[in-house]
Chain A
Amino acid sequence: MTVQLVGEYRALQQMAREFCEQEIRPVAAARDRIKDPAKVFDWDLVRKGSALGLRTLAVPEKFGGPGVDLMGQALVILELARGDGGVAKTFSQCWKWTPMLTELATKEQRELFLPKFMEDDTYLLGLGGTEPDAGSDNRWPPDDPRAGWKTSAVRHGDEWVLNGMKHFIANGGVAKLFVIMARTDPTVPISKGTTMFFVPSDTPGFRFGRRHDKVGWRFYQNAELIMENCVIPDAFRLGEVNKGKTQRRDDVAGFNDVELVANVLGMAQAAYEYAIEYARNRVQGGKPIINHQAVGLMLADMYMRLEAARAYLFRVVEGSMEQGHDYDSASRQLAKVFATETAISVTQKALEIYGGAGIMKENPVEKLWRDVSVFPHLAADSVQILRTVEKLP
């Protein structure tokens, strides 16, 4: 394995690091503490990041973007999440759905939406899948019409009428374009009866419901999407009817796993850095606490786990880049489970090293601990594990 940070990668990493230090870190803690979840979001930060190309990082060169590959994306997320995991995810959520616009969309759809995405520095992307009664069922669908999303799309000539409600939707409340997963055949399981639609957020009949108030990762917006007789032209249908679950949609192999792994490890790295700095400066028992075995052992353990998880991340990046969608998916999917456990362990130890000060909001580690606590349910760890069982070597 040859992971060399040469040329462009180094420059990208440096750019993201500077954005983290100069723009994210100075505001992240104060933003996190705002009570109203909608007000945590900072458009100014989005505009500044957009100006650096962070929002459109994944747009291929042939469409006028920088076309940063998976390795570059992982490096940028690691750095941004060191400042705030929610800010990093706000940007990378756009990368996640970029292939919808550039690869899966028709030429007409691409020409309609892509220029807006490229030019409007507040144009964010999202996808609506989850509903109150359809969580894990969407990821590990029982082969039964009763399970999974219920939001419906009914065809009337050249139009579709969408009705239903999505919740916990990422970039909900702030994105200008969503891909909505809707049931177009309720008599069959979602794997056979789902169609995808582009739905601009200003479409009549489409609105945002509640903004969700989360324990951590609060910068990253989640909201309800409500569709009441929301009429969409057939021209906005993405892909074929009833093929929404089966056609390939993430053309960047490995992205979904790498994105989350890099994010949670970026946050864990920050917790480690704060903890070791604190341990070198905090004196109890007549010496810096890092020189007490109890604390020294914890820091070495944190570093060891971070190193292991980072090595795993880069193995998945390299495997995905070399073998594409053929890359051994058990090892790819389990990386997120491992990284989440790593980050929970590391941030908890950081909390303990800070002692009583750790739980105080004036110090940085409690936020990182809360932020990381959001991770086990993302992409549903237990479902991820179960799905890999039959793929185990």
Chain B
Amino acid sequence: MDFTFTDEQRALQQLARDFFESEVRPVAAEYDQREDPRDCVPWDIIEKGSKLGLRTLGTPEEWGGGGADLLTQALVIEEMARVDIGASKTFSHNWKVSSRIAALCSEEQKKRFLPPFVADHRYLLSNAVTEPDAGSDSHLPYDVPEAGPRCFAERNGKGFVINGMKNFIALAGVSKLIILWARTDRSVGITKGLSTFIVPRDTPGLSNGQFHDKMGMRLYNNAELIFENCHVPAENLVGELGQAMQQRAAVAKGGNIELMAHALGCARGAYEHALDHARNRVQGLKPIIEHQAIAMKLAEMAMEVEVARAMVWRCAWASEHMTPPDNRLTVFSKVFCTEMALRVTRRAVEIFGGMGVMKDGPAEKYLRDAAVLLHMDATNQINLIKVAKRL
């Protein structure tokens, strides 16, 4: 493993750092504290960042994106998430979904959907799987006809009519294109009866339900999608009928480096604030970092962040150099990094003392943001149960 970075990787890292320091840090807390989740979408940041290439960094080069590899993506995400995890995920979610479109769609579909996405600085993408009664069932997967997504796409002449609803869907309140997982056969489990469709936002019959009001990661939009007799042409079916689970497995083989890198960045951001505070806050007539109780906490936080970074980079390296990739590594790293982020952000709150729980201090937001990571890309419990089968 060689982690000597190229000039291009360093430049992108610097670009992300500069943009998030100058444009996101001054406004992130204010966005976070807005009451209505509809008002928390940072459109100004999205547009400015998009012009720098942050919205399309992970989109393949041949379609006009940045074509950044996973290690580069991890470097950039760490810089963004250390300032605001929600704004960061709002960019990187598009890398993931556009890469899926590029990997799974036909040439004709890619030509229809990717150029408009790349060209429009306000064009965001969603990937809709979860439903109120289909959470862990889609991940396990629980492969019986009664379980999993219920949202149904029924054959209708040459196209499909979709009915049903999705919840907790990332960027669903603001995205212009949705990759939808819908049931096409109710008589079988999801490994055979689930299909992938592409549904543009302006399709009649598609609307938003509520915008979810989350405890943390508030700049990252989540909303419900409601499909009522929503007609989608056959040309919008991705690949073969009934192949959604297999398609997902094919594109997810690198694991969720995006998520781990967010946990890493979030923890690092909290750690940096805590270190700065501990060097400046005087109690007992000396900076509190000179008290063993505080010094040890900071050393432990730094250690955890370093371990997490090593895991993220190793996963990124392995996804491109190991064949076949060891997909246990990515699960271990997802679980470790998300739990690490919660431990480190909790410590940061403690180091800030009373100021740690105040909204005008920086610490409490990192803790709320970190807590959101635990359930993402399946709960850590589900991840561990799945990986146990591959030990």
Binding site for B on A (CB under 8 A): 33, 35, 130, 133, 135-137, 140, 142, 144, 146-147, 168, 212-217, 283-286, 289, 294-295, 298, 344, 348, 351-352, 355-356, 358-362, 366, 369-370, 373-374, 376-377, 380-382, 385-386
Q: Report B-chain residues with C-beta under 8 Å of the C-beta of A361.
A: 213-215
Contact partners of B52 in chain A: CB under 8 A = none
- Smallest CB–CB gap between B69 and chain A, Å? 29
A382 touches B356 (CB 8 A): no
A380–B354 alpha-carbon span in the complex (Å): 8
A344 to B288, CA, bound (A): 24
**A residues less than 8 Å from B284 (CB atoms):** 136-137, 140, 142, 147
User: Which chain A residues border B346 with CB–CB below 8 Å?
Assistant: 344, 373
Please give 16 more A-B residue pairs, beta carbons under 8 A apart, in addition to A146-B285, A294-B384, A362-B213: A135-B353, A137-B283, A215-B358, A215-B367, A284-B136, A284-B142, A285-B140, A285-B147, A352-B379, A355-B379, A359-B216, A359-B372, A361-B215, A374-B357, A377-B353, A377-B356
Judged by a CB distance under 8 angstroms, whether B374 is at the interface is: yes
Q: Which residues of B contact A348 (CB under 8 A)?
A: 342, 371
Closest partner residue, chain A, to B364 (CB atom): A215
Cβ contact within 8 Å between A214 and B357: yes
**Smallest distance from the beta carbon of A51 to chain B beta carbons, Å?**
31
Residues of A within 8 Å of B136, CB to CB, are 284-285, 289, 355
* Residues A216 and B213 in contact in the complex (CB < 8 Å), given A284-B142, A352-B380, A356-B375: no
**Cβ contacts under 8 Å, B203 to chain A:** none
Query: In the bound complex, do residue A355 and residue B135 qualify as a contact, i.e. CB atoms below 8 Å apart?
Result: yes
Contact: B215 with A370, CB < 8 Å? yes
B35 A359 Cβ-Cβ under 8 A: no
Interchain CB contact (< 8 A) of B350 among A286, A298, A359, A382: A382
Which residues 353-390 of B have a CB within 8 angstroms of A? 353-354, 356-360, 364, 367-368, 371-372, 374-376, 379-382, 384-385
Interface residues of B (CB under 8 A from A): 33, 35, 130, 133, 135-137, 140, 142, 144, 146-147, 168, 212-216, 282-285, 288, 293-294, 342, 346, 349-350, 352-354, 356-360, 364, 367-368, 371-372, 374-376, 379-382, 384-385
Contact B354 A135 (CB under 8 A): yes
Residue of A nearest to B130 (CB): A356
**Residue of B at shortest CB range from A360?**
B212
Residue of B nearest to A354 (CB): B375
| Residue numbers in B under 8 Å from A135 (CB-CB) | 283, 353-354
B145 to chain A, nearest CB (A): 11
B381 neighbours in A (Cβ, 8 Å):
294-295, 298, 352
Q: Identify the closest chain A residue to B350 (Cβ).
A: A376
* Cross-chain contact A377 with B357 (CB below 8 angstroms): yes
Q: Which residues of A contact B215 (CB under 8 A)?
A: 359-361, 366, 369-370
The answer to whether A356 touches B342, judged by C-beta atoms less than 8 angstroms apart, is no
Please give, as numbers and ranges, the residues of chain B lying within 8 Å of A294 by CB-CB distance: 381-382, 384-385
Contacts of A283 in B (CB 8 A): 133
Closest Cβ neighbor of A282 among chain B residues: B135
Contact A213 B358 (CB under 8 A): yes
Give 13 pairs: A residue, B residue, CB < 8 Å, sorted on A. A35-B35, A133-B282, A135-B283, A214-B357, A214-B359, A283-B133, A344-B346, A359-B372, A366-B371, A373-B346, A380-B353, A382-B350, A386-B293
* Whole-angstrom distance between the Cβ of A337 and the nearest chain B Cβ: 12
Question: Of A35, A356, A359, A377, which one neighbours B354 at CB under 8 angstroms?
Answer: A377
Return the chain B residue nearest A168 by Cβ.
B354
Residues in B whose Cβ lies below 8 Å from that of A214:
357-359, 364
Note all chain A residues with C-beta closer than 8 A to B380.
Answer: 352
Given contacts A284-B135, A295-B381, contact A373 B364 (CB under 8 A): yes
**Residues of chain B lying within 8 A (CB to CB) of residue A130:** 354
Question: Are A373 and B357 CB-contacts (below 8 A) given A137-B283, A352-B379, A360-B214?
Answer: yes
Closest A-B pairs by Cβ, 4 of them: A215-B364, A294-B381, A213-B359, A366-B215
Q: Give CA–CA (A370, B212) in the complex, Å.
A: 18
> Which A residues are in CB contact (< 8 Å) with B282?
133
A373–B346 alpha-carbon span in the complex (Å): 8
Q: How far is the CB of A277 from chain B (nearest CB, A)?
A: 17
Task: Give the distance in Å from the alpha carbon of A135 to the alpha carbon of B361 in the complex.
Answer: 15
CB distance from B213 to the nearest CB of A (A): 4
Q: In angstroms, how far is the closest chain A Cβ from the Cβ of B147?
A: 6
Residues of B within 8 A of A360 (CB): 168, 212-215
Q: Which of A146, A298, A352 makes the CB contact (< 8 A) with B375? A: A352
Distance in Å: Cβ of B344 to nearest Cβ of chain A: 14
Q: Which residues of B contact A373 (CB under 8 A)?
A: 346, 349, 357, 364, 367
**CB-based contact A370/B368 at 8 Å:** yes
Task: Specify the chain A residue showing the minimal Cβ separation from B212.
Answer: A360
B137 near A213 with CB under 8 A, answer no
Bound CA–CA A377/B277 (angstroms)? 15
A382 to chain B, nearest CB (A): 5
Q: Which residues of A contact B384 (CB under 8 A)?
A: 294
- Which B residues are in CB contact (< 8 Å) with A380? 353
The docked-state distance in angstroms from the alpha carbon of A358 to that of B368 is 12
A356-B135 CB under 8 A given contacts A348-B342, A361-B215, A370-B215: yes
Minimum Cβ distance to chain B for residue A294 (Å):
4
Query: Contact between A216 and B214 (Cβ–Cβ < 8 Å)?
Result: no
Closest residue on chain B to residue A386 by CB atoms = B293
Find the B residue at minimum CB distance from A295.
B381
Residues from chain B with a CB closer than 8 A to the CB of A142 are: 284-285
Query: Which A-chain residue is minimally distant from B286 (CB atoms)?
Result: A142
How far apart are the CA atoms of A146 and B342 in the complex, in Å?
Answer: 36
Chain B residues closer than 8 Å to A381, beta-carbon distance: 350
> Closest approach, in angstroms, between the C-beta of A392 and any C-beta of chain B?
16
Chain A residues contacting B352 (CB-CB under 8 Å) are 377
Query: Are the CB atoms of B214 and A136 closer together than 8 Å?
Result: no
User: Smallest Cβ distance from A284 to chain B, in angstroms?
Assistant: 4
- For B130, B215, B374, B375, which residue has the most chain A Cβ atoms within 10 angstroms? B215
Q: What chain A residues lie within 8 Å of B364 (beta carbons)?
A: 214-215, 373
What A residues does B372 contact at CB under 8 A? 359
Beta-carbon contact of A377 and B350 below 8 Å: yes
* Docked-complex contact B357 and A216, CB < 8 angstroms: yes
Q: Are A351 and B371 in contact (CB under 8 A)?
A: yes
Q: Quote the shortest CB–CB distance from A136 to chain B (angstroms).
A: 5
Q: By CB atoms of chain A within 10 A, which of B285, B354, B359 has the most?
A: B354
Most B CB atoms within 10 A — which of A137, A360, A369? A360
A351, B367: Cα distance in complex, Å: 13
Looking at A215, A352, A385, A386, which has the most chain B CB atoms within 10 Å of its CB? A215
Q: Is B359 within 8 A of A215, CB to CB?
A: yes
